[in-house]
Chains A and B, each alone.
Chain A
Amino acid sequence: MPVPTLPLESAKAATGGPSQHAIVFNDVAIAFEDNVVLDGVSFRLDHGETKAVFGVAGAGKSTILKLALGLIKPDRGQIIVLGEDVTQMKEEDLFELRRRVGIVFQESALFDSLTVRDNVAFRLMEEGEVSEDEIERRVREALSFVELERTVDMLPSELSGGMRRRVAIARAIVTHPEVLLYDSPTGGLDPVTSTTIIELIVKQRDVYKTSSLLVSHRLQDAFIMATHCFDRTTNKMQPLPPGAHGEVPMTFLVLRDGKVIFDGDAHELVQSKDEYIREYIS
């Protein structure tokens, strides 16, 4: 059965005016040997928007994040991140751009020989222009955001899976990046820890309003994000009144067989007549 894709016109419209968007993918394709992972993917992430990317395992969700950071190059297409065409940039030039983007890897990817403090401070220490006191203050601030201040001198191997994921979030946000990429932040975690991580992502979204691209295979995580907001007074995630929208726009993107088959908000997703999407969200 041929896979329905977004019409060309809507894809073009989606990629118009790249510089005003945080991330733009335009007709991006990539294959690993004979396995086509992405085939003509186009979408955009506006400044301040949070977009959740869904698809089954192997649909190319994590590949999208690696492409956005220039960690791998596409076979075809254009990727604009914060106004820079990452497909045309050399590795040396990409390091500067990557400093403006934060990423939380699927398995946290913390440096296992460094303490939590050094992991979180890594980017600040690499910049070399931040004083020791300032580094300490910002590390404490980031760890306090994820409520893990007490782990500052511990090694990643001494932390639980959920704690490692929270340290990875602290490492990603410590420099207040303009864009945040989350690669299955709740993957492999129990429901309680997953909710804690989602609460942190909602907190980050509503407090700092950073543009975010979140990859997941757990639809319920994104629905929680779409239907909740962070209440600063109670320091907790609160459900939004029925029909209400949060301050930060939240959209969904569904991938199937390397193509985008849905790009819209939660309401449109629920209303979708597409059989595959209906099955996916049921």
Chain B
Amino acid sequence: MELTSPSEFAKEKVQAIQDYALLSSRSLANLFRPPLYLGDMFQQADLIGVGSLPIVVLTGFFTGAVLALNTAETLGRFGSLTLIGQLVSISMVRELGPVLTGLMVAGRNASGMASELGSMIVTEQIDAMRALGTDPTKKLVIPRIAATVFMLFFLTIISDLLGLVGGNAVSTLLLGLDSHQYWTSAWQILVFRDVFTGLMKPVVFGLIISTIGCYYGMSARGGTQGVGRATTQAVVAASVLILVMDFFLTKLLIVLLGYR
């Protein structure tokens, strides 16, 4: 195995960050600048949004269910089993809904974007597109960013709702709680800042997933092996970045919205 000098390694990393920042900023700057590829945006929205719906539904439902199941014993010990709706609601809306949906979509779509664009790079299709007078950033990257941000927002709402349904199923069927009470406490605990926090995150996560997926795809080198490497790196980088950004975003929103 060839060893890389520390300075070369550092240069490569700085170069990669610079290229990523350039691709992202150029894409965001051109987001509403014509030509707008609305057809491609709808196609990507279908692939990313509708395509991810089954895994998001399943993830949301069972996360809410297992959350209720795991916390029931602790809450019961303090005689607060009726608060289970509040716990599931706050956990899903603020944190688990956005993060788990983000991770699921990252696993499914960041890899898809990286492999698709990577294959186009190694078969000269991106060069061909540029040679035919079409900007690949506008034609390929921007529709993916717009579709991911837009669809992840709604997928998160669906995941939150399904999580609450899962919690309700466990509470009523296994724990014998009243369904009406569950929904009332789950609804009443939510305030603006919780919902705002929960809906800000998918916007940022959507940006991370799409820009990382497109960046690794557009910078793929070295044939099919390079495409495979880009795909893996895209999923790993997007997943890690989601978790890291989640912490900083949560902290920032706590400060901005003034809650503990």
Seen from chain A, the residues whose Cβ lies within 8 Å of a Cβ on chain B are 66, 69, 71, 91-92, 95-96, 98-99, 101, 103, 105-107, 109-112, 122-123, 126, 128, 171
- CB of A105 within 8 A of CB of B135, answer no
- CB of B127 within 8 A of CB of A123, answer no
CB of B130 closer than 8 Å to a CB of A? yes
Other-chain residue from B123, B127, B128, B134 in contact with A95 (beta carbon distance below 8 A): B134
Closest B residue by C-beta to A92: B135
Other-chain residue from A71, A110, A111 in contact with B130 (beta carbon distance below 8 A): A71
CB of B3 closer than 8 Å to a CB of A? no
The residues of A that contact B132 with a CB separation of less than 8 Å are 98-99, 122-123, 126, 171
Total interface residues on B, CB under 8 Å, equals 15
The residues of B that contact A69 with a CB separation of less than 8 Å are 130-131
- CB of B127 within 8 A of CB of A105, answer yes
Shortest Cβ distance from A172 into chain B, in angstroms?
9
Shortest Cβ distance from A113 into chain B, in angstroms?
9
Closest A residue by C-beta to B132: A123
Bound together, the chains give a CA A91 to CA B138 distance in angstroms of 12
CB of B124 closer than 8 Å to a CB of A? yes
- CB of A107 within 8 A of CB of B124, answer yes
Bound together, the chains give a CA A112 to CA B123 distance in angstroms of 10
A selection of 10 A-B contacts at a CB cut-off of 8 Å is A69-B130, A69-B131, A71-B131, A99-B132, A105-B131, A109-B124, A111-B125, A111-B128, A122-B134, A128-B35
Bound together, the chains give a CA A261 to CA B103 distance in angstroms of 58
Bound together, the chains give a CA A107 to CA B124 distance in angstroms of 8
- CB of A66 within 8 A of CB of B134, answer no
Other-chain residue from B35, B120, B124 in contact with A105 (beta carbon distance below 8 A): B124
CB of B133 closer than 8 Å to a CB of A? yes
Shortest Cβ distance from A64 into chain B, in angstroms?
14
Shortest Cβ distance from B123 into chain A, in angstroms?
6
Bound together, the chains give a CA A126 to CA B129 distance in angstroms of 10
Shortest Cβ distance from A171 into chain B, in angstroms?
8
Top 6 nearest A-B pairs (CB, nearest first) are A99-B133, A109-B128, A109-B124, A98-B133, A95-B133, A103-B131
The residues of B that contact A99 with a CB separation of less than 8 Å are 132-133
Shortest Cβ distance from A1 into chain B, in angstroms?
33
Other-chain residue from A105, A110, A123 in contact with B133 (beta carbon distance below 8 A): A123
Given A110-B125, A111-B125, A126-B132, 11 new contacts (CB under 8 A): A69-B130, A71-B131, A105-B127, A105-B128, A105-B131, A106-B124, A109-B127, A111-B128, A111-B129, A122-B132, A126-B133
Closest B residue by C-beta to A103: B131
Bound together, the chains give a CA A171 to CA B129 distance in angstroms of 11
Bound together, the chains give a CA A122 to CA B134 distance in angstroms of 9
Bound together, the chains give a CA A123 to CA B132 distance in angstroms of 6
Bound together, the chains give a CA A98 to CA B132 distance in angstroms of 6
Bound together, the chains give a CA A149 to CA B111 distance in angstroms of 37
Closest A residue by C-beta to B137: A91
The residues of B that contact A123 with a CB separation of less than 8 Å are 132-134
The residues of B that contact A92 with a CB separation of less than 8 Å are 135
Bound together, the chains give a CA A103 to CA B124 distance in angstroms of 12
Shortest Cβ distance from A140 into chain B, in angstroms?
19
Bound together, the chains give a CA A101 to CA B127 distance in angstroms of 14
- CB of A95 within 8 A of CB of B124, answer no
The residues of B that contact A98 with a CB separation of less than 8 Å are 130-133
Other-chain residue from B35, B119, B127, B135 in contact with A71 (beta carbon distance below 8 A): B127
The residues of A that contact B133 with a CB separation of less than 8 Å are 95-96, 98-99, 123, 126
- CB of B125 within 8 A of CB of A126, answer no
The residues of B that contact A128 with a CB separation of less than 8 Å are 35
Bound together, the chains give a CA A232 to CA B124 distance in angstroms of 34
Bound together, the chains give a CA A213 to CA B135 distance in angstroms of 24
The residues of A that contact B128 with a CB separation of less than 8 Å are 103, 105, 109-111
- CB of A109 within 8 A of CB of B135, answer no
Bound together, the chains give a CA A122 to CA B120 distance in angstroms of 16
The residues of B that contact A111 with a CB separation of less than 8 Å are 120, 125, 128-129
The residues of A that contact B135 with a CB separation of less than 8 Å are 91-92, 95
Residues 61-116 (chain B) with a chain A CB within 8 angstroms: none
The residues of A that contact B129 with a CB separation of less than 8 Å are 111
Closest A residue by C-beta to B126: A109
Shortest Cβ distance from A252 into chain B, in angstroms?
24
Shortest Cβ distance from B51 into chain A, in angstroms?
16
Most buried by A among B35, B120, B128, B135: B128
- CB of A109 within 8 A of CB of B125, answer yes
Most buried by A among B125, B128, B131, B135: B131
Bound together, the chains give a CA A109 to CA B134 distance in angstroms of 14
Bound together, the chains give a CA A237 to CA B226 distance in angstroms of 43
Closest B residue by C-beta to A113: B116
Most buried by A among B123, B124, B133: B133
Shortest Cβ distance from B37 into chain A, in angstroms?
10
Bound together, the chains give a CA A215 to CA B13 distance in angstroms of 36
